[in-house]
Amino acid sequence: MDTLHSMRVFVRVIDTGSFTAAALALDLSTAQVSRLVSDLEQQLEARLLNRTTRRLALTEVGERYLQRCRQILAEVEEASAEARGAHLKPSGRLRVHTMTGLGLQHLTTLVARYSELYPEVVIELTLSQRTPDLLEDGQDVIITFARELPDSQMVAQVLGPMYSVICAAPSYLAKHGVPQDPADLQQHRYLRLLDPLYHDNWVLNGDDGEFDVLPAESLQVNVAESLAKAAQAGMGFCLLPSFVACPFLREGSLLRVLPEYRLRARNIYAIYPSRRFLDAKIRTWVDFLKAELPPLLALDEAILDDSTHWATC
């Protein structure tokens, strides 16, 4: 038995004043309407209507039930209207996850700008070093890095490239010297970023080929910003994602070492469940990122390629 349908029929009978009028309004037969109301009474084990050949009259139970039916049906209609409009107007809570460095350097600023455009969307931004399961963790959009993604039912949009660069403090370089080739790194101290996305060794890619290097480790930390702070203090070389390195390079507290080499090139992806019936807040957020993040990454690229931020002999 479809209880909601029976409730609608019951309300229509009261509003029209008869089974026959309700049947006409609902495109049903009078017998069907009568049976649905009777089945509803049977289910409730309560009499809702007193019937005569001339008129219908609500029982006391029927009066109370009618009021509750109107409330329930109004809430169902409101919920349906909200769901139908979800793909049209951005609103509600948007759960976004990204890696800590990208979140601190770029995503938090972009969240603020998106919120100005869509004030009815409340963004719940989570930063961590692990990539969660999109569905199990209840995220709407995950922004992550990968060379390529495994096959899945999820939708992935490329937002732009990123890679890592080798950095060190001017004080460390003045004391220990500037490496001239990848092999020189073996003689220096290495500050390691504990990151499940990457292996321990450094694979340097340049015009003259690929070099696999693993310097002597002196510190491990799981957040790139902390790694940069340790490098600032002269503890050794560190490998930083491009967007994390740029503020430190710009202020001169770190210098880029071996600038002809790049490491750990990846794409930045926005991942979300499905294109079908896509919620407007997800669609507008991903479109916003596709438009606004690449110019920020281009500015990072310009800083990385500026020789005034490079270590020289």
The structure tokens listed for 60 are 């006391």
- Consecutive H or E run containing 270: strand 262-272
Count of residues making up the chain: 313
Query: According to the model, what pLDDT value does residue 111 have?
Result: 96
Helix (H, G, I), strand (E, B) or coil at 84: helix
Please report which confidence band the pLDDT of residue 201 belongs to, taking 50, 70 and 90 as the band edges: confident
Query: According to the model, what pLDDT value does residue 84 have?
Result: 65
Residue 44 reports pLDDT greater than 70: yes
- What are the residues whose beta carbons fall under 8 Å from the beta carbon of 211, sequence distance 6 or more? 182, 183, 203, 204, 261
Residues 102-113: what's their mean pLDDT? 94
Using the 8-state DSSP alphabet, how is residue 310 labeled? B
Query: According to the model, what pLDDT value does residue 81 have?
Result: 65
Contact 115, 94 (CB under 8 A): no
Residues 77-84: what's their mean pLDDT? 70
Residues 222-246: what's their mean pLDDT? 91
Residues 87-115: what's their mean pLDDT? 90
Contact 48, 37 (CB under 8 A): yes
CA distances to 110, 118, 272, 274, 291 from 88, rounded to whole Å, are 22, 12, 18, 16, 20
Please report which confidence band the pLDDT of residue 87 belongs to, taking 50, 70 and 90 as the band edges: low
Residue 214 reports pLDDT greater than 80: no
Please report which confidence band the pLDDT of residue 275 belongs to, taking 50, 70 and 90 as the band edges: low
Contact 59, 53 (CB under 8 A): no
Helix (H, G, I), strand (E, B) or coil at 161: strand
Residues paired with 156 in a beta bridge: 271
Tell me the average pLDDT of the chain: 87
Least reliable range by pLDDT among 145-159, 176-190, 259-273, 288-302: 145-159
Between CA 225 and CA 250 the distance in angstroms is: 15
Please report which confidence band the pLDDT of residue 257 belongs to, taking 50, 70 and 90 as the band edges: very high
CA distances to 121, 163, 178 from 220, rounded to whole Å, are 38, 20, 22
Q: Which string of DSSP letters, residue by residue, matches 17-67?
A: SSHHHHHHHHT--HHHHHHHHHHHHHHHTS--EEE-SS-EEE-HHHHHHHH
Between CA 197 and CA 206 the distance in angstroms is: 21
Residues paired with 186 in a beta bridge: none
Using the 8-state DSSP alphabet, how is residue 307 labeled? G
CA distances to 17, 25, 36, 46, 174 from 30, rounded to whole Å, are 13, 11, 10, 21, 95
Least reliable range by pLDDT among 89-98, 245-254, 274-283: 274-283
Between CA 294 and CA 302 the distance in angstroms is: 12
Residues 13-17: what's their mean pLDDT? 87
Share of the chain above pLDDT 90, in %: 42
Residue 190 reports pLDDT greater than 70: yes
Least reliable range by pLDDT among 66-70, 149-153, 206-210: 149-153
